[in-house]
Amino acid sequence: MKGVIFTFLADMVEEQFGLEAWDSILTETGLNGVYVSTETYPDEEVFRLVEATHKATDIPMNDLIKAFGQYAFGKFQKSHPDFCNPEYTLKEFLLTVDSVIHVEVKKLQPDAQLPSFGYDNESENELTMIYSSPRKLCMLAEGLIAGAAEFYNTQYTLTHDKCMHDGSDHCTLHITMH
């Protein structure tokens, strides 16, 4: 996983729980916490950090991963504002994730291992995103969607009908914009 995810997680923990909490998490995991955003690190390291953050904060794991996704969207938007056209609607933005944003990320970081998204563009106010990744970080995707909805000032509901954690080969994230 790219180091940017690690640095964003460190930032979130430090901002919300303090530097001492992050230091405690690093001690718990035995990791040094030095990450370069463009470097690639073993996935298991971020999973260990998230697990330790869960234990340190008592935030349920899925809620923590979703909150991190929402936080990370804000950080991504600030560091890559060109990916988030403010003239778009939430739906228009979400439709660019796989075909534009992930393509551009691969140009910048060819070794990035990104999830894939398919789409069922059901109606003007509905979209189903079909998420697939060996990492099974669908809750992170839900959080990123929440962050995008906040950025685009859009109320929405999301149902997560199929899930890789329940044995499916993909997750379906059905979004209705209000």
Same domain, 55 and 88: no
Same domain, 84 and 172: yes
In a domain, 165, yes or no: yes
C-alpha 160/C-alpha 114 separation (Å) is: 20
Same domain, 53 and 86: no
Same domain, 84 and 170: yes
Same domain, 115 and 152: yes
Same domain, 17 and 97: no
C-alpha 147/C-alpha 93 separation (Å) is: 12
In a domain, 22, yes or no: yes
In a domain, 14, yes or no: yes
C-alpha 5/C-alpha 69 separation (Å) is: 10
Same domain, 35 and 84: no
- The angle at the Cα of 126, spanning 121 to 129, to the nearest 5 degrees, equals 60
Q: 4, 38 in Cβ contact below 8 A?
A: yes
Q: Give the residue from 149, 173, 131 showing the smallest Cα distance to 93.
A: 149
Q: For position 87, which CATH number holds?
A: 3.90.1520.10
**Tens-digit pLDDT profile for the chain (178 aa)?**
999 999 999 999 999 999 999 999 999 999 999 999 989 999 999 999 999 999 999 999 999 999 999 999 999 999 989 889 999 999 999 999 988 888 888 888 888 889 999 999 989 999 999 999 999 999 999 999 999 999 999 999 999 999 999 999 999 999 999 9
pLDDT in tens, 131-149: 999 999 999 999 999 999 9
Same domain, 30 and 94: no
List the alpha helices (DSSP H) in the chain. Answer: 3-17, 19-29, 43-57, 61-79, 90-94, 102-108, 138-151
Same domain, 10 and 89: no
In a domain, 40, yes or no: yes
**Residue range(s) defining the domain that contains residue 129:** 80-177
Same domain, 89 and 161: yes
Q: 53, 9 in Cβ contact below 8 A?
A: yes
pLDDT of residue 127: 98
In a domain, 120, yes or no: yes
C-alpha 84/C-alpha 106 separation (Å) is: 17
pLDDT in tens, 46-72: 999 999 999 999 999 999 999 999 999
The reported pTM is 0.94
pLDDT of residue 139: 98
C-alpha 21/C-alpha 31 separation (Å) is: 14
Number of domains making up the chain: 2
